[in-house]
Amino acid sequence: MTPADPRERRDRVFGPGMHLSYDRPVHAVSARNVWITEADGTKLLDAYNNVPHVGHGRPEVVRAIAAQAALLNTNTRYLVDGVAEYAERLISLLPEPLDTMFFANSGSEANDLAWRIARTVTGHDGAIVTANAYHGATDLTMATSPEGLAETGAALPAWVATIAIPGELDQPSISSALHRLGQSGHEPAFLAIDTVLSSDGIFDPGPALSPLADQIRAAGGLFIADEVQAGFGRIGETLWGFAESAVVPDIVTFGKPMGNGHPLAAVVTRRDVAERFSERGYYFSTFAGNPVSAAAGMAVLDVMAAEALPRRAEKVGGYLRAAIRHIDHPAVGEVRGRGQFTGVEIRGEEAGAAAHRIVNAMREHGVLIGATGPQQNVLKIRPPLVFTEEHADILTAALRKVLTDL
């Protein structure tokens, strides 16, 4: 017998580790553009989900998926023009010499492969990540995700060392992390950075990436830019989080917004790195690089370009941050971020609990946001790129009301 309550029904089939967002979970039945509709008809403004990059249910993407699924869906063992065409298009948006692509099905798979490539090519096994990083749910990527490990109190393995954020951005240094790796007998294979530093509390790394890349290379490791969160114009017209530093990463990984919800992810690297990996490592994925995923990805890039969404992300994101900074409330600390990725620091005692109350009150006022950072005290605002000033005004008005009632 099926329980009538949707939460009870879900809990009956999922394990206890599958958390729901919000104290009163969202019961979603449909979504369009930046609005999610609940079973009772309530419309929620989605200021949280970066996956529906060009909008929920975006017709151009839906049509591309439907047409390609009807025409041909196969794998990379066969020649399919649209798949190569998408790879060419993505590579054309990256700086030289990043010219070789591996498809994957999720950001986790992309990072897992990137870590494998770095370890295989360098012959080292150590990793350096930020102190509250999250890089994925596979065994290897979870081991480099202090935020994920903290969920159950699991320890970071000895081959992973961390750099403090924002501490080690001002005087960019991995020397302490290198020292700790060395003490535990590991040499560094890579330094990986989510270029919007999302789970570390949302920071703009500014020019710090370039000296960090120099240091990891000097130590014999590769510099990996994790663009799963920042990429595809979220941070603005430069498209990629690493682009504002004068650095070309050795490996870049992509995920979340890439297929507007269709499982699509990728790794791009230099040809010499790919060649050295392939001599000693094997990778093939049945689903990755299927023509339907590629068609979804292409439609996303087409809409992004046609509507200049990266520029809009900068403009509306800047407008939103300015509006939030105008809210005069003692709990509101630094308002930071880039493009359409905004962090609002909540300060005071038990700031994490306060942020939790704010996030849930916002949901009751019809606006979906989240909280992040090591203390979970940074409001995370990361809407689809089709978000407008009008939507920003709705969010700001709700936040003002929620803070007043706090």
List binders of a second copy among 179-238 (CB under 8 A). Answer: none
Out of 42, 71, 306, 393, which residue is the one contacting a second copy (CB under 8 A)? Answer: 71
**Residue 324 DSSP SS3:** helix
φ/ψ (deg, to 5) at 392: -60, -40
User: Which positions from 264 through 283 interact with a second copy, judged by CB under 8 A?
Assistant: 271, 274-275, 277-283
**Which of residues 81 and 170 has its CB atom nearest to a second copy in the complex?**
81
Q: Is 14 in the site for a second copy (CB under 8 A)?
A: yes
Out of 23, 66, 218, 347, which residue is the one contacting a second copy (CB under 8 A)? Answer: 66
Please give the Cα distance from 44 to 73 (Å, whole number).
Answer: 34
Provide the mask over 76-95, with x wherever binding to a second copy is found by CB under 8 A and - wherever it is not.
xxxxxx-xx--xx--x----
**Which of residues 79 and 170 has its CB atom nearest to a second copy in the complex?**
79
Nearest approach, Cβ of residue 376 and a second copy (Å): 15
CB 48 within 8 A of CB 381: yes
**Which of residues 13 and 170 has its CB atom nearest to a second copy in the complex?**
13
Provide the mask over 140-179, with x wherever binding to a second copy is found by CB under 8 A and - wherever it is not.
x-x-----xx-xx-x-------------------------
**Which of residues 77 and 170 has its CB atom nearest to a second copy in the complex?**
77
Cα–Cα distances (Å) from 175 to 129, 172, 232, 264, 320, in that order, read: 13, 9, 31, 35, 37
User: Which positions from 283 through 302 interact with a second copy, judged by CB under 8 A?
Assistant: 283-288, 290, 292-293
Nearest approach, Cβ of residue 86 and a second copy (Å): 9
> In the beta sheet, which residues pair with residue 336?
343
Q: Tell me the window of 52-60, 178-186, 371-379, 385-393 that interacts with a second copy (CB under 8 A).
A: 52-60
Nearest approach, Cβ of residue 170 and a second copy (Å): 31
Q: Which of 135, 258, 242, 142 is nearest to 196 (CA)?
A: 242
Q: Is 124 in the site for a second copy (CB under 8 A)?
A: no
User: Which positions from 355 through 374 interact with a second copy, judged by CB under 8 A?
Assistant: none
**Residue 357 DSSP SS3:** helix
Burial of residue 317 (CB within 10 Å: 0-12, 13-18, 19+) is buried
φ/ψ (deg, to 5) at 297: -60, -40
Out of 205, 231, 233, 261, which residue is the one contacting a second copy (CB under 8 A)? Answer: 261
Cα–Cα distances (Å) from 247 to 174, 258, 265, 269, 301, in that order, read: 16, 22, 22, 14, 24
- Give the list of residues 6+ apart from residue 153 with CB closer than 8 angstroms, or none: none
Nearest approach, Cβ of residue 39 and a second copy (Å): 8
Spell out where 177-221 has E strands: 188-194
**Which of residues 240 and 277 has its CB atom nearest to a second copy in the complex?**
277
**Which of residues 170 and 282 has its CB atom nearest to a second copy in the complex?**
282
Please give the Cα distance from 47 to 25 (Å, whole number).
Answer: 16
User: Which positions from 319 through 358 interact with a second copy, judged by CB under 8 A?
Assistant: none
**Which of residues 295 and 361 has its CB atom nearest to a second copy in the complex?**
295
Please count the residues of this chain forming the interface with a second copy, following the rule CB under 8 A. 98
**Which of residues 142 and 169 has its CB atom nearest to a second copy in the complex?**
142
User: Which positions from 98 through 117 interact with a second copy, judged by CB under 8 A?
Assistant: 99-102, 105-109, 112-113, 115-116
**Which of residues 260 and 340 has its CB atom nearest to a second copy in the complex?**
260
Nearest approach, Cβ of residue 213 and a second copy (Å): 22
Please give the Cα distance from 233 to 310 (Å, whole number).
Answer: 4
Out of 126, 172, 205, 255, which residue is the one contacting a second copy (CB under 8 A)? Answer: 255
Instruction: Render the burial of 178-210: b for 16+ CB within 10 Å, e for the rest.
Output: bebbeeeebbbbbbbbbbbbbbbbbbbbeebbb
**Which of residues 176 and 285 has its CB atom nearest to a second copy in the complex?**
285
CB 254 within 8 A of CB 227: yes
* Torsion sign, CA atoms 178, 180, 183, 188: negative
